Structure 1
Amino acid sequence: MKEKIIETLKAKLNRRVWDSWFSTFEVKEIGENCVVFQVGNLFIKDWLEMKYGNLIARTLKEVFNRSIDFKIEYAPLQDQPMEDESEPLVRKRPLVLTPLNPIFTFENFVTGPSNMFAYSACLEAAKNPGKYNPLFIYGDVGLGKTHLLQAIGHYLFKHKPELRVVYLTSERFLNELIEAIQRGTTQEFRERYRSKIDVMLLDDVQFLIGKNGIQTELFHTFNELYNAGKQIVICSDRDPQMLDGFQDRLISRFQMGVVVKIEKPDIETCFKIAQKMVMFENGDLPEEVLLLIAEHFNDNLRRLRGAIVKLLMHKQIYNEEIDLSRAKQILSIEPVKPKCKSVETRLFDILCELFNVTPEELKGSCKKDSAIVARQLGMYVAKNYMNLSLRKIAEMFNRSHPTVSNTIQKFEISLRTNKSLESMLNKVKELFREKTAGQLL
């Protein structure tokens, strides 16, 4: 009967879920009105009761043709000694609290100038949890943030299996809290994420923008973990200071550790990534085709992978070799026509030339007087002469909306009494008028 219960339950779950959550799950005892299960991990015991309790109950009803109670007990694995509660629960095998993509490892991550610092920071956080805390990684979609986040988990599973590591998205964190509130198990939810884990890997934190209640819960969870020396790694699609709709106290905590940006990869890095993706798909494409993909899909690695999969599918279905010409047809890549510079780019060109600064200094936190004045003047021109929205200006200068608004107001006040600023403004307007041939000014 024990085997039948396990086999019936196993048939209702996919292999990945079973291997992740039920690897130590077994029937301990079958009573007249109750079945006792046991697992070798305390955290997983709580998780199974919450997530799979209804499924287990339905399985027992199916096997016994009647409703029957059950309970799950924690029993240490036989090949490991009993440990004090203050010690890690599992030593000889990793505690897999959440399944990870097996491909997302450090070994499979292709590094380049755009992501080397982020890669090194994540590897260091994995080797020395708590040393750089918190670690905040941000960048546009499809640049490898989730890969690095899960790579930390894989590394810890392999090298520090005694640590309790959880990877979750902000959406899942929110949904679990809502479910806990509905079930009246909020305290169990808090214990699970505040006292029963050693490393929290939180993805897509921008999902919580405007959700004040869950932000408060995350704030207290963050404090508990941080004060206990637990490693926290957070991913977002934007800089912490650009998380409009987030509590200031949370943003300040995101910034109190190491903040790392992943940039768009260069063509050479994209080419290496494309090579590795083809290898994972057990396919083969000419180098010139991979270079074509790297040149046209370097803004988003998911799109890059999609292009590779599409070519390999054509190759398999139509049994044809994919050369450069055929690849362009399949991917609808047209010859690139020269593009005129956007008015935003022209404004940056003028500011950089006039004030002897770089675009990076304008967009960054450079404190040089020339960069500060150029930045303020550029925002003023963008708002009052180019008629751009505060949102667009914030994106141009990598600032928040309130910062842009305050900067423009301060510049307007200074402009009334500072003749040199007025002269600089007129010079920028004159150069901009020449470059745009009178289109805007």
Structure 2
Amino acid sequence: MLWEKTQEVLKDTLSGSVYQLWIEPLRCLEVRDDSIYLLSPDRYFSAYVAQKFLSIIEATVKEAGSVQRRVVICEDERVHTPKPVMQPKGQLRLPTVPENNSSVRALHPRYTFDQYMVGDCNILAESACKAISADDDSYGPCIYINSETGLGKSHLTHAIAHKVFAESPMTRLHYVTAQQFAAEMVRNIQSKTMDTFKQKYHDHCDMLLVEDIHSLTGKKKTQEELNEVLDSLIKSGKRVVLTANQAPRELVGIDSEFRSRMSSGLVTMIKAPDINTRLRIVERKAGTHQLGLAEEGVNYLAQHIRGDIRQVESAIVAIRAKSRLMGGHVDMDMIREAVTSVVGVGQQLTIQMISDLIAKQFKVSVDDMKSRSRKRQLTFPRQVAMYLCRKYTDDSLAEIGRAFNRDHSTVMHSIKKVTNLSVRDTSVAAQMELLTGKVKSL
């Protein structure tokens, strides 16, 4: 089939991640003498593919079929006309309502609320974003989200845009990075068209999404302009979502009035996901990439990749690519190699790594340490493992407790017990010194 041949060529031409993200989701609807119709997930996906890959797709179609055909990317399986016409869903524009003038970054097709993995680390941010996208003012008209890189800020802002355009397509939504806002302002100053710029953001905007506010550090004029925009929109009952890598009070080089304005609504932080959330993220990402992982592999990825969620996807893409070369087989060596390539050899210590070491040193199994047994030969290794996990990992008492089928109070008791024994008993102190050295060398 023509499209299947085209895909094979594109798979060799494009990088693996680009092919999986932007070509693999396309499905051939119909092939005509002069055209080939491809179905995409949504109109934003269509727009991005048309902008970035249409020329190479058309050239490859010709190469695969020996005939020049126009490639038409559409979102409706019913192909009646040579040029698909998109009908608005939901709202219709009244004659007195100005035409939509939204300006939106290219939206990732998978960055939707359905695909967002919710845990204790991000539930408030996710709930607030869902509410504001539905024009629910439960959390106020302004939301400020901060987190480290790769924890889901962009996923949430993309999800808001997807939901707004799906349910209220006439919403005048502007979605930019702070750098883009600054560059647009400079262009309008240079061309003496600041009136147009102000009208766009003050008068023709129902919802504003601005990412990476921290990049405005030291840019006083841009801060003043954006502060005016925020003031105008919030007072008019419009919706605003801002993201940054720090809370407003922690930003350096930010005007106090602008800082105050950003803090006028909900300020929430997305924290690094806990082990349970990481396990679900790994399972979801593996499923998305059609990669079968055993429980051991899922646990290893979740234990060793602790922060940036993009690193999880990168590791899974690497595992999938290598498994294809091995006939679909996935083993732990392959997973360890992928983790090392993503995280590096100096990865953080994990509960699993420390548990394995202690079990080996005391000649017991990890499962025995996790059992309910209170035998001395198991109790002491378990307490030592908990003590070292608390000392050398970032996991909470609750997370360590769950790893050993205990609660956080048991972990606290174990830490106190080992600490006291190390002070009173020189043999225990010597043991702990030896084990500490082995943990540091992992």
TM-score, normalized by the shorter chain, greater than 0.5: yes
Residues 130 and 250 (structure 1), Cα distance of their counterparts in 2 relative to 1, 3 Å cut = farther
| CA–CA separation in structure 1 for the residues paired with 2:289 and 2:174 | 28
The equivalent residue for 1:198 is 206
Q: Could you give the per-residue CA deviations for residues 259-296 of structure 1, whole angstroms, max 9, x where no partner exists?
A: 11111101111111112212222333223212211111
Q: Residues 17-56 of structure 1 correspond to what in structure 2 (within 5 A)? A: 17=48
The alignment partner of 1:271 has SS state of helix
Cα pair distance change 1:120/1:95, threshold 3 Å: same
| AA partner of residue 134 (structure 1) | C
- The 8 Å contact of residues 200 and 231 in structure 1, kept in 2 or not, is answered as yes
Give 1:56-205 correspondences, 5 Å limit: 83-84=95-96, 87=97, 89=99, 97-128=104-135, 132-205=140-213
Matched positions, count: 269
Aligned residue in 2 for 1:239: 247
Structure 1 residues 266 and 81: alpha-carbon distance in aligned structure 2, compared to 1, 3 A threshold: closer
Q: Which amino acid aligns with 1:292?
A: Y
User: C-alpha separation between the residues in 1 aligned to 2:246 and 2:279?
Assistant: 25
| Residues 295, 226 of structure 1: alpha-carbon distance in 2 compared, 3 angstrom cutoff | same
User: Does structure 2 conserve the Cα–Cα contact (< 8 Å) formed by 1:95 and 1:161?
Assistant: no
Find the partner of 1:323 among 322, 326, 331.
331
Check 1:294–1:18 CA distance in 2 against 1; reply closer, same or farther (3 A cut).
closer
Shift in CA distance, 273/88, structure 1 to aligned 2, threshold 3 Å: farther
Match of residue 228 from structure 2: 220
Give the structure 2 partner of residue 283 of structure 1. 291
Contact conserved, 1:129 with 1:230, CA < 8 A, in 2?
A: no
Q: CA–CA distance in 1 between the matches of 2:142 and 2:281?
A: 28
How far 1:238 moved relative to its partner?
0.6
Q: Could you list the runs of 4 or more consecutive aligned residues of structure 1 that deviate by over 6 angstroms after TM superposition?
A: none
Which residue number corresponds to residue 409 of structure 1?
Answer: none
C-alpha distance in structure 1 between counterparts of 2:185 and 2:113, whole Å? 31
Q: Does 1:256 align with 2:264?
A: yes
Counterpart secondary structure, 1:117: helix
* Structure 1 counterpart of 2:433: none
- Contact 2:103–2:175 (CA<8 Å) still a contact in 1? no
Judged with a 3 Å threshold, the aligned counterparts in structure 2 of structure 1 residues 161 and 15 are, in CA distance, closer, same or farther, namely closer
The Cα of 1:245 is off from its aligned counterpart by 0.6
Residue pair 1:96, 1:165 contacting (<8 A) in 2 also: yes
For 2:248, the aligned partner's letter is P
Shift of the alpha carbon at 1:186? 1.9
Distance 1:235 1:96 in 2: 18
Question: Equivalent of 2:320, from 291, 312, 322?
Answer: 312
CA distance in 2, matches of 1:282, 1:206: 37
Assess, with a 3 A threshold, how the Cα gap between structure 1 residues 249 and 171 changes in structure 2: closer, same or farther: same
Do the aligned residues in 1 keep the contact of 2:126 with 2:156 (CA within 8 Å)?
Answer: yes
Deviation at 1:17, TM superposition (A): 4.9
The answer as to whether partners of 2:93 and 2:170 remain within 8 angstroms in 1 is: no
Of 115-124 and 126-135, deviating more is 126-135
Contact 1:170 1:203 survives alignment (8 Å): yes
Is residue 2:86 matched to residue 1:16? no
Q: 1:18 to 1:288 in 2, by over 3 A?
A: closer
TM-score by length of 1: 0.56
Report the alpha carbon displacement of residue 100 of structure 1 after superposing the two structures with TM. 1.5
AA of the residue aligned to 2:141: N
3-state SS in 2 of match to 1:101: coil
One-letter amino acid of the structure 2 residue matched with residue 137 of structure 1: I
Q: Letter of the aligned partner of 1:201 in structure 2?
A: L
State the Cα distance separating 1:339 from its structure 2 match. 8.1
Identity across the alignment (%): 26
How far 1:155 moved relative to its partner? 1.1
Following TM superposition, by how much is the alpha carbon of 1:128 offset from its aligned partner in structure 2, in angstroms?
2.2
> 1:405-424, aligned counterparts within 5 Å?
none
Q: Are the equivalent residues in 1 in contact too, given 2:319–2:334 (CA < 8 A)?
A: no
* Displacement of 1:305: 1.5
What is the SS of the residue equivalent to 1:206?
helix
Once the two structures are superposed, residues 155-196 of structure 1 have per-residue CA deviations (whole angstroms, 9 ceiling, x without a partner) of 111222221112111111111112222222222122112211
Task: Report the Cα distance in structure 2 between the residues aligned to 1:81 and 1:133, rounded to whole angstroms.
Answer: 24
- TM superposition shift of 1:147: 0.6
In 1, Cα distance between the equivalents of 2:390 and 2:157? 39
The answer on whether the counterparts of 2:102 and 2:171 sit within 8 Å (CA) in structure 1 is: yes
2:280 to 257, 264, 272: 272
Alpha-carbon offset, residue 200 of structure 1: 0.4
**C-alpha distance after superposition, 1:23-43 (max 9, x if no partner):** xxxxxxxxxxxxxxxxxxxxx
Pair 162,303 (structure 1): closer, same or farther in 2 beyond 3 Å: same
By how many angstroms is 1:215 displaced? 0.6
Partner AA of 1:109 in structure 2: Y
Q: Which amino acid aligns with 2:292?
A: D
Shift of 1:119: 0.8
Structure 1 residue runs of 5 or longer lacking an equivalent are: 1-13, 21-75, 346-441
Counterparts of 1:116 and 1:149 in 2: how far apart (Å)? 15
Matches within 5 A, 1:323-342: 323-332=331-340, 336=353, 341=391
Structure 1 CA distance, aligned partners of 2:94 and 2:132? Answer: 29
SS state at 2:242 partner? strand
* Counterpart residue identity of residue 206, structure 2: D
**Offset of 1:96 from its aligned partner?**
6.5
2:135 maps to a residue whose letter is N
Cα distance, 1:130 vs structure 2: 5.1
Q: CA deviation at 1:82?
A: 5.0
From the superposition, tell whether residues 95 and 325 of structure 1 become closer, same or farther in structure 2 (CA, over 3 Å).
same
Q: Would the aligned equivalents of 1:129 and 1:231 in 2 still touch at CA under 8 Å?
A: no
